[in-house]
Amino acid sequence: MIRKFIQSIFRRYYKLKVILKCRKWEEPLQVNENSIVSKNTYLGKNVNLNGMRIAGHGMVKIGDNFHSGPECLLITDTHNYKGSKIPYDETYISKDIIIQNNVWLGSRVIVLGGVTIGDGAIIQAGSVVVKDIPSCAIAGGNPACAFKYRDREHYLKLVTEKKYH
């Protein structure tokens, strides 16, 4: 009983940290583990963060009904290797990340800037997403690529019936 009480206090603290840092968020928002977001982060409804880290100056937009496994990392910035110094100069190149509605990232997924993950996509644990993932795709690997697709008819039926976790 005491353990659950302490967990609830930590969850409130984690949620407050996210709310104070991100640009915009909507309820419900669940932050189960310590998560770090950037000031250019936009969170939709029913977002569940479980130890997410969002780094960089680019915009990160996460849609409704998003779930992340532990230790996920979204990185919007890269070093400028074409600049005036080797291996890179002092400038950064920022690219946005768009994660649409009903997306699930498994544990330790890395998403790099310039990527859009489509509605209903699932990204397998440990994957590195470097290019766009289509809607309803189940993707994995390094680099992540679609290897299977959800049953689109079933997916749309659940969306229409508003059956979300």
pLDDT tens digits for 15-32?
999 999 999 999 999 999
Residue 109: CB atoms within 10 Å: 25
Q: Residue 82: helix, strand or coil by DSSP?
A: coil
Give 123's strand partners.
Answer: 105, 139
Is 67 considered catalytic here?
Answer: no
Catalytic one of 57, 67, 79, 165: 79
Residue pair 33/71 in contact (Cβ under 8 Å)? The answer is no
pLDDT tens digits for 102-120?
999 999 999 999 999 999 9
DSSP 89-118: -S-EEE--EEE-TT-EE-TT-EEETT-EE-
Domains, the chain, in order of start with CATH, read 2-160 (2.160.10.10)
Evaluated on CA atoms 9, 13, 19, 25, the torsion sign reads negative
Residues with Cβ within 8 Å of 106's Cβ and at least 6 positions away in sequence, in order, are 69, 122, 123, 124, 125, 126, 127
pTM: 0.95
Nearest CA to 129 out of 107, 111, 103, 108 is that of 111
